[in-house]
Every structure is written in C-alpha cells, then in structure tokens.
Chain A
Amino acid sequence: MANEVIFKNRDLDRLWDIEQYRSRGGYEILTRILTEKTPPAEIIDGMKTSGLRGRGGAGFPTGLKWSFINRSAPGDKYLVCNSDEGEPGTFKDRDILRYNPHALVEGMLIASYVIDAHRAYNYIRGEFWEPYERFQNAIDQARAAGFVGNNILGSGFDCELNVHLGGGAYVCGEETALLESIEGKKGQPRYKPPFPAHVGLYGRPTVINNTETLASVPTILREGAEQFRDIGVENSGGSKLFSISGHVKNPGVFELPMGTPFSELFELAGGMRDGSKIKAVIPGGSSSPVIPGEIMMDLTMDYDAIAKAGSMLGSGAVIVMDESTCMVKVLDRMGYFYYEESCGQCTPCREGTGWLYRIVHRIENGQGRPEDIDLLMDVQNRIRGKTICALGDAAAMPVAGMLRYYQDEFQYHIDHKKCKVGAGA
C-alpha cells in the first residue's frame, strides 16, 4: 500500500530475516550515519522536521525528546524501547516485533548513536514470548553482521542491545515504572521531575520511546523527513499503525496516513460484522473516552481531530462496538481492569479505581442506587490530575466519556434493575 513506512515491505515473506530486510535498503541509513559520522544535531533536526510524535499514546515530539539529552555529559546514557504493549485494544507493536523487527533494531541503534548511549534495552511484555524470540533473533543477526556490539562498522561507536522481559503489569507501560522494572523492582512510577532525560535508568540520562516510534526512524531518515511529514496532516506527521478490533468483520493492524477518515479505516476492516449496526467507538485504547459511531464516521484519525471530539488518538487502538453492546457492562469491565492494574502507590488511584469499579459493577448487576451517577462523576473527578502517573486519569476519563453519551443506559439500569440494550445484561 502507498504511504506505508513500517509495513511497507510486508510483501516480503520473511522480512524478519536480515537478508530480506537489507534487500530493501535496511541498515543503509545506519551505515551511512556511522561511517559519515553524521552530527547528531542534524539527525535530531530531521526528526523534528518529520513531525513524528510518540506512538505509545502521549504523542510527544520525538526529535524534541532526543534533544533533551546532554550528549557531552560524562557517564552512561541509556536508550530504552517500550514494547510493553498493554493498553486494551492495542496490538500493533506485537506485529512490528513479529514482522519487522530489524526496523526496530536499526531505529534503536540510530537513537542510541544520537544520544550517545552504549546500552539499549527493549522492554517487551513477558507474555509476548513469540515476538520476543523474533526480536532476539533479529538482534543476533544484526550482531553477526556487525551492527551491534563494539566498534560498530569500524566507526568507534559501541552499542549493546538487550531485551528485558516484563512480568505482567499494565502500569509498566508508564515510562518511569518501566525504568523501575528494568532495575528489577516493583513497577511503581516515579515523580517527574526529574524527567528521565536527566535522571532515568540507574539514575542516568535516558530516552524512552515506543516501539512504533523507533521502528519508523530508519525510513524517515533514509527517505526524507519532509516526505514522511507530508504523508500526514498538520500536527500529525507521517503514517500510523491503527489496531482495530471489536465487532468489525476483519480486525487487524492497518498502517494509514495520519488524518485518514475513520470511515476509510472502518471500511478496510470490512465494516460491521453480520450486518450489525455501529453504536460506539473507543478511538485510542481503553483510556480514551468513547465516541458514538455517527460522530466517529465524520472524524479523521489524527491527534487534533480526535482531541476536538473530546477524546484521544492515544495508541491508535480502535475498538468498534455494535448496537447489542451494553455500555454499562463495558465500563464495568474497564473499571475492573484499572482497579486490578493500579500499582497502589497514590491514594486517589488505589482507592478511586476500587470505588469506580464497585459502583459500576453494582449498577451492572441491578443494584445501582439513585445517587450513583453523581457519585461516579464525583469519584472520577477526585482522581483526575491527582496522581503521580497517568493511570489514574486513564481510569477516570472513560467514566466521564461514557456518562457524556450513554448516561441513559446507566440510568435505565439503576431504575429498572436490568439492561436497556438486552444483550449483555
């Protein structure tokens, strides 16, 4: 498909083998950078021009993030890739690791060169064993070809690349929790500031980027930052992987230009299954507020458009729900997730996620009380902005989103002790 960056060479049957990756220009840009000793500032400028923003969900400009590292500061610096893909609805990084792992290896090496890191880690969630093996194999192949290790390609640049496997904790997708986890501790987020660029892994300057972000880097630098930027729209440069799941006919991962109408993505996924009608869409992972289907149909998939509609593009994880879906049941399950995954460090999140879950759960089970909707709004409001990391916000935001559009369903459950939708009651 045109405009693809990460999936561009998916037509090759074994793109994860280094020969096939190299047959389409793989490792060319790394080789050029290392042999020409391209000034890191020049690469950072290119990344800024490309408009690439962090693909993990927060959307922070990548070039800017790299520029925060004081390259000439003495001592170790680290590059960390976040492959702890766990935001419900998101399954794109798994495909990068499985199908195009060398793009990530090359991207991590380039980023390491830019920030002068001699050790890089990819934090892969522990459940991703098969993707991990693919990625580890790519590292081994890259090492055998002289791209990893000491004095890479005779350039004098050293870089070790290793995998750190997670152990099952959603919160480790938060960058500072992830650093704690690499250090062999509980994954509890750290206060910011200091930011990881100053005090990161083992207390040293660290850049943490998402898998998709780093895997985009080689193509951006090889084919031109402007070209990448122009694939997308203003404020949302380039292409993006969208994971689409739920009640669509052909769920999967699609790479599309930023700013593509949702209706196109929806069509690529085959539209609704079994002739059902679209009811609602969660546009950017379970933390992003729900949007009714008819509003979604008029939106484009980019940061600004989704934000204007009151939600977030997040990780680009789109969950489509048909008319048989009970929104109370959906929020009940989401509430349980955040309650289960809260690390317990901050009181508003530790206690508040339990409150949210218990209230929605009793509404779902026909034991809702008249005051419960106000109580839900009150509790979510007491979590937002009051915790160290964004997990609290992630638990709270979907509640407000659900009540914004589907309060009648919650009210019906409370008043009639049963489900308005029928199915899923």
Chain B
Amino acid sequence: MSALETKNRNELFTPEIRAEIDHEIAKYPEAESQSAAMAALRIVQDANGGWLTQERMDEVAAYLDLPPIAIYEVATFYSMYEHKPVGRNKLCVCTNISCMINNSDQIVEHLNNRLGIKFGEVTEDGRFSLKEVECLGACGGAPMMQVGRKYYENLTPERLDSILDELE
C-alpha cells in the first residue's frame, strides 16, 4: 500500500486542482467517485506539463481512495494519457484512411524534416512532440491534426509552416 495513504487528502495537489477534481466527482452518484478517475488524470496531466509520473498517479489514487492499480490500468489503457515527457505542443497527426488517402504521409514527412523528430519524440528545445493518432472524427477536413485542444484541418506543408510558427 502506498505511503500516500497517510497523507491528508488536502495536502495532495493545489487547491485549484482539488476543486477541479471535486467538480468532476460531483457529477457522479455518491460512492461512485471512481468515475472521476479519467477526468482527474486529465487534470493532473495538464498541470504536470502534459504527462503523468507514477507519483502523480499514486496521488490521484489516494485522492479518489482507490488502489493505485485501478489508476494505472486507466492511465495505460487510454491513448491520451502520456507516460513520457511531451513537447509544449503535442502534435497529434491522424494517419487513418481518410487522412492517408489525402496525403497525411506528406504531412508527417514535412513535420519529420522540419522538426527533426519522429513519432514519439520531442524536439530538443521541448517545444514540439509528435504523435501518430487514430481517426479523430474530422475526416471532412483531412488531412488533419490536433494540437492541445484545437483541431487543424485541411493541412498542407505551407499551412503547417504557418501553424508551427505561431505555436510557442
């Protein structure tokens, strides 16, 4: 069992993060706070530079009063949780059918060349990381990618350049 158990719940996270997680817990029936596990992981990941460490996951488990394994299972099952450092801008490029037949290969190649990284890697300055993702449900705007919370559609190498220039 985790040493975190002895910690007071109110010593975990910042008050802002606790408030956000509590808001999620309130969405579900009493005694079903496990339902907030996914949201809690998302909130903690966002506050932790976009990725999760074991310590952070253990804290989520302690906060929700769950065994750590319950949190590890969730954090490793869903693709949006990261377990290695990512760039300040995580470029999630779709290469599924509609994007593929609309030249997503060219988009990926352009990103590889311009940033000098492949899928799963981070630029040295930490500004960008690259991730291959499955269909994001925006096939009408293929090829497309997601950066942070935003979708960028109808990508071309030229458009990519101007998007990258704007991302700090």
Contact = CB atoms under 8 A, between A and B. Distances in A.
Q: Do A and B bind each other?
A: yes
Interface stretch (A165-173, A190-198, A224-232): A165-173
B35 interface: yes
A86 B139 CA distance: 11
Contacts of B161: none
A350 B34 CA distance: 27
A128 B137 CA distance: 9
A337 B42 CA distance: 24
B27 A162 contact: yes
Nearest to A204: B29
Nearest to B95: A333
Interface residues of A, number: 57
Contacts of B137: 85-86, 90-91, 93-94, 125, 127-128
A252 B140 contact: yes
Interface stretch (A39-47, A148-156, A317-325, A409-417): A317-325
A125 B97 CA distance: 19
Main secondary structure of the interface of A (DSSP, over half): mixed
Contacts of B35: 164, 182-184
B138 A94 contact: yes
A88 B29 CA distance: 33
A112 B97 CA distance: 37
A419 to B, nearest CB: 14
Interface string A184-214: 1111000000000000001000000000000
Q: Which of B38, B102, B138, B142 has the most CB of A within 10 A?
A: B38
B136 to A, nearest CB: 5
Contacts of A181: 38
A97 to B, nearest CB: 10
Interface string A108-143: 000000000001010001111110000000000000
- Among B38, B81, B135, B142, chain A packs the most CB atoms within 10 A around the CB of B135
Nearest to A87: B135
Interface stretch (B4-12, B108-116, B119-127, B145-153): B145-153
Interface string A2-13: 000000000000
A353 interface: no
Contact of A243 (B73, B136, B140): B140
B77 A334 contact: no
A330 interface: yes
Nearest to B34: A184
A125 B34 CA distance: 18
Interface string B47-64: 000000000000000000
Given A126-B80, A167-B78, A184 B36 contact: yes
A333 B98 CA distance: 11
Given A184-B35, A184-B74, A247-B101, A90 B139 contact: yes
A82 to B, nearest CB: 13
A202 B32 contact: yes
A251 interface: yes
A243 B139 contact: yes
A88 B142 CA distance: 12
B45 to A, nearest CB: 10
Contacts of A90: 135, 137, 139
A183 B38 CA distance: 9
Contacts of B146: 127
B38 A333 contact: no
A263 B137 CA distance: 24
Given A119-B29, A167-B80, A245-B142, A89 B136 contact: no
Nearest to A330: B97
A293 to B, nearest CB: 14
A356 interface: no
Contact of A91 (B37, B139, B149): B139
A286 interface: yes
Most B CB within 10 A of own CB, among A89, A162, A286: A89
B81 to A, nearest CB: 6
A139 B50 CA distance: 28
Interface of A: 76, 85-91, 93-94, 119, 121, 125-130, 162-170, 181-187, 202, 243-247, 251-253, 282, 286, 317, 319, 321, 325, 329-330, 333-334, 337, 340-341, 343
Given A167-B42, A184-B70, 11 more contacts: A91-B137, A94-B137, A163-B27, A167-B81, A185-B74, A202-B32, A245-B139, A251-B141, A251-B142, A319-B101, A330-B100
Cβ-closest 8 pairs across A and B: A167-B78, A168-B79, A129-B149, A184-B34, A245-B139, A184-B37, A168-B80, A88-B135
11 contacts: A87-B135, A91-B139, A127-B92, A127-B137, A128-B137, A164-B35, A164-B38, A168-B80, A245-B139, A319-B139, A341-B134
